[in-house]
Amino acid sequence: MTRNALEGVKILEYCNMISGPYCTKLMADMGAEVIKIEHPGEGDLARKKGPFPGNIAHPEKSGLFLYLNTSKFGITLDPATEDGKEIFYKLVKDVDILIENKPTGEMETLGFGYDTLKQINPGLIMTAIKSFGKSGPYKNYKAYSFNTGHASGQSYVLPIPSLDLSRAPVKAGGNLSDYDPGLVTVVAVMAALFHKRISGRGQYIEISKQEALLSMQRVESVTYANGAESVSRQGNPFGIVRCKDGYVNIITPQERQWEAFVKLLGNPEWAQEEAFKKRASRVQMQNGIRLKRNVEEWAMKYTREEIVKMGQEMRVPVSSVNTAEDVVNSEQMMERQFFVPMEHPAVGKLDKFPSKPFKFHKTPWQLQRPAPLLGQHNKEIFCERLGIDQQTLAKLKENGVV
Amino acid sequence: MTKGPLDGIRIVEFTSAWAGPYATCLLGFLGAEIIKVESLAYVDHSRYISFSTGTEFATPNESSVFNTLNLNKKSIALNLKQPEAVEIAKRLLEICDVTIENMRPGVIKKIGLDYDAARKVKPDIIYLSSSACGQTGPHREFMGYAPTFAAMAGLPHITGYEDSPPSNFMGSIDLRSATMSAFAILTALIHHQNTGEGQYIDLSSQEVIAALCGDVFLDYIFNNQSPERSGNKDKFMAPHNCYRCSGYDNWISIVVGNNAEWQGLCDAMEKPELAEDKRFSCAENRLRHLDELDRIISDWTCDQDYYIVMEKLQNKGVAAAPSMSGEALFKDPHLKARGVYQQVEHPVIGKDWIIAPPWRLSETPAQIKRCSPLLGEHNEEILCGLLKMNPDEVRRLTKEKIVY
């Protein structure tokens, strides 16, 4: 019988959208028990965001919600009500970890500040994810992930390359600016959990999304401070190159890789120019532009598959720029079982569903259960676990508490 | 100094570049003791090159890139091409809790320090291998770096303007791998707390990036359609873009998520007539008239300082923040108040600016205790102190370039 690494770990999630939920998903998929609180009626805002099957919006069929909330238990609760507040306290009493991403100040206003919750559960690890953190001149500023992506410097350096700066910098694709803070947060939460299991002591963890994103750019963000120029999106023009059926990405940081690449190109005369002899000059703007043009002339004759095969055979670091379709159908991803079958009461059976980025040999990743329907586990958690009888539950539902 | 949450954990790393070293750097911020095994025989390239500035460093001990990714660590120089060095490495494994390597699949086995070898000296070891595409599969031996495996994972294709090629990605991709590795190691540590059992973890950087794009693949899985590039646009919200402000390459990001925020934007722009304008009365209409909308906002922002625009908009409850360059970040009053940029003293670099750890823990804070190590700085401390070797022996090993 395979074990779950985080068996016995109990987490309460009071979050919306992406960063908080991704943090708890990572732990839920490794066996932690995550109870996710959603607002009665509309639920997590992610339920409104696609992709949806057939492009038809449906709150139980949001691809974003389904992916971010695998393995969790779902309950509906409005903790802003009197009854809701009592239930929230009861839930907090039993867990190791609470994660929330409400606007700054809201938890305290609701009566859920750390000082209060610590009285109920001294060993609680409470984690607060805020756009700009809980202190500083921007602590009450409003931000969507698009704003924090730009305010952290992450989006300022995209797209690469931008040959001129007349167009605005762009956000990273997908929802990367929202996944990143969730990933950064989970490291501190897990370390605090490790500490708690030895010492019995909980603590309060504060994450600023801006700082979490900035930490991913930690190398680029200090160049100006240390006396060089700010890193610009006017980066090395050579890298992504058009070919017959799409784009490939070529990078040759070592000279022997460049030499192998020149050989692959058939030793063209232009490769003998001074401009292209050493890496330091190849990456300069004007040289990079010419290099790209020259290489594209060659690449347009071949498909991505051909270029990658020829290149890799000669130990040139080159890859295909993949679309979603390419990734889903990739031989490598298939062998690695990155996409696994998933069955969900609303969406039905999917042959492929994105899974995990690692293989644990003793405690493998598992899709413990599909993402919950709205309020799916109300009975199990409220009645069976908290001992609320069915009639009371019905009344609470009527009053919008659950 | 206060203890970190991972106080007492010892990690030995056989890593180079960014993805391996930053994983242990994160754990080191949280109090784990990190021993970095490196060698003059094959120096970590981040000790020699900054890809961000193009600088090539003359010696292995003056790189601010290496410094920023290897804070708090100890360094021992062991030339693993020599069997005696491998034996010393095994003695280190014997007394550690975790080890991590990010060599190309197959290499660490040739050296003799793979999981099976490690397990022999420490049966409950937690061993993580980090590689571009994983230890198995047709691409396991692919030559690649962060930009190439990001491309394979699907992220560049969906980043950039609709009418331009895919955006490339740089080293921050590796830091995502590293952060996921740190999570994986911590997960294994919890399992070890429960059961006393260690294990092997095979982490793929390509899969890490794909995992951070999971929802994107569902569009193809549901509907046979691959998402394309869309610049700064959002499917549901408008405005949702960056607008030029005064100065060189200064842009402000603005999002209006609902009609109340739209009203706020109109108030801030002192254009009450806009709030009545049917073209922009709801999100669907604003999306339909996006170009006009962007032009109106741009006309308003273009000769204003972006901090002033941010303040005006935030005062009316509108989400707005500048797109920050390295210079803007360094000078920003909020980040200054939060103490995000810190200086560490380095014996060769002098004062080096680095970014503080990204979490604030109330009981067991994350800490930067010292700068990155010089290559082999802790040879004596580790060999004589920790492994109780005779100083004469160490001298011999150094002479024979085993400790090297």
A349 touches chain B (CB under 8 A): no
Q: Which amino acid is it at A31?
A: G
The answer to whether residue A1 scores a pLDDT higher than 70 is no
Residues of B in contact with A226 (CB under 8 A): 64, 352-353
Q: CB of A78 within 8 A of CB of A37?
A: no
Cβ contact (<8 Å) for B6 and A191? Answer: yes
Cβ contact (<8 Å) for A219 and B361? Answer: no
A183 touches chain B (CB under 8 A): yes
The reported pLDDT for the residue numbered A236 is: 83
Closest-CA residue to A282 (of A290, A165, B46): A290
Which of B137, B147, B198 is the closest to A336 by Cβ?
B137
Residues of B in contact with A30 (CB under 8 A): 187
- The pLDDT mean for chain A works out to 96
Place of tokens 């007539």: B273
Label residue A394 by pLDDT band (50, 70, 90): very high
The reported pLDDT for the residue numbered B1 is: 64
Q: Where are the alpha helices (DSSP H) in A62-144?
A: 63-68, 82-93, 106-110, 114-120
CB contact residues (below 8 A), chain A span 377-396, against chain B = none
Closest-CA residue to A173 (of B212, B53, B256): B212
Which of A146, A212, A327 is the closest to B210 by Cβ?
A327
The reported pLDDT for the residue numbered B55 is: 86
pTM of the model: 0.98
Residues of B in contact with A198 (CB under 8 A): 193
Q: DSSP string covering A14-60, please?
A: E--SSHHHHHHHHHHTTT-EEEEEE-TTT--GGGGSS--GGG---TT
Question: Residues near A347 by Cβ (< 8 Å), separated by ≥ 6?
Answer: A53, A60, A61, A66
A332 CA: distance to closest CA in chain B (Å): 5
ipTM: 0.98
Cα within 13 Å of Cα(A89), Cβ side: 16
The answer to whether residue A258 scores a pLDDT higher than 60 is yes
A366 touches chain B (CB under 8 A): no
Place of tokens 């240390």: A226
Of A128-132, A236-240, B184-188, the one with minimum mean pLDDT is: A236-240
Cβ contact (<8 Å) for A53 and B226? Answer: no
Which of B190, B227, B318 is the closest to A142 by Cβ?
B318
Domain boundaries, given as residue ranges, for chain B: 10-212+339-399, 240-331
The correct CATH number of B240-331 out of 3.30.420.40, 3.90.180.10, 3.30.1540.10, 3.60.130.10 is 3.30.1540.10
Q: Tell me if residue A164 falls in helix, strand or coil.
A: coil
Nearest-CA residue of chain B relative to A206?
B360
The reported pLDDT for the residue numbered A154 is: 97
Domain boundaries, given as residue ranges, for chain A: 10-218+336-398, 240-327
Which of A138, A153, A170 is the closest to B326 by Cβ?
A153
A182 CA: distance to closest CA in chain B (Å): 10
Superfamily of domain A10-218+336-398 in the CATH hierarchy: Crotonobetainyl-coa:carnitine coa-transferase; domain 1 (3.40.50.10540)
pLDDT in tens, chain B (404 residues): 689 999 999 999 999 999 999 999 999 999 999 999 999 999 998 999 888 888 889 999 999 999 999 999 999 999 999 999 999 999 999 999 999 999 999 999 999 999 999 999 999 999 999 999 999 999 999 988 999 999 999 999 999 999 999 999 999 999 999 999 999 999 999 999 999 999 999 999 999 999 999 999 999 999 999 999 999 999 999 999 999 999 999 999 999 999 999 999 999 999 999 999 999 999 999 999 999 999 999 999 999 999 999 999 999 999 999 999 999 999 999 999 999 999 999 999 999 999 999 999 999 999 999 999 999 999 999 999 999 999 999 999 999 999 99
Residues of B in contact with A315 (CB under 8 A): 143
Percentage of chain A lying above the pLDDT 90 cut:
95
Nearest-CA residue of chain B relative to A64?
B215
Nearest-CA residue of chain A relative to B330?
A225
Superfamily of domain A240-327 in the CATH hierarchy: formyl-coa transferase, domain 3 (3.30.1540.10)
Cβ contact (<8 Å) for A187 and B136? Answer: no
Q: Which residues pair with A162 in a beta bridge?
A: none
Domain B10-212+339-399, architecture per CATH: 3-Layer(aba) Sandwich (3.40)
A332 touches chain B (CB under 8 A): yes
The reported pLDDT for the residue numbered B37 is: 98
Average pLDDT over residues A28-35: 98
Cβ contact (<8 Å) for A165 and B249? Answer: yes
Q: How far apart are CA A271 and CA A67, in angstroms?
A: 47
B210-220 pLDDT, tens digit per residue, is 999 999 999 99
B380 CA: distance to closest CA in chain A (Å): 30
CB contact residues (below 8 A), chain A span 196-235, against chain B = 197-198, 201-208, 210-212, 214-226, 228-232, 235
CB contact residues (below 8 A), chain A span 22-61, against chain B = 26-27, 30, 48-55
Q: What are phi and psi of A18, to 5 degrees?
A: -120, -55
A153-186 pLDDT, tens digit per residue, is 999 999 999 988 999 999 999 999 999 999 999 9
B287-333 pLDDT, tens digit per residue, is 999 999 999 999 999 999 999 999 999 999 999 999 999 999 999 99
Residues of B in contact with A210 (CB under 8 A): 334-335
The answer to whether residue A316 scores a pLDDT higher than 60 is yes
The reported pLDDT for the residue numbered B54 is: 80
Cβ contact (<8 Å) for B255 and A363? Answer: no
Give the rounded distance of the alpha carbon of A65 from its chain centre: 13
Nearest-CA residue of chain A relative to B28?
A191
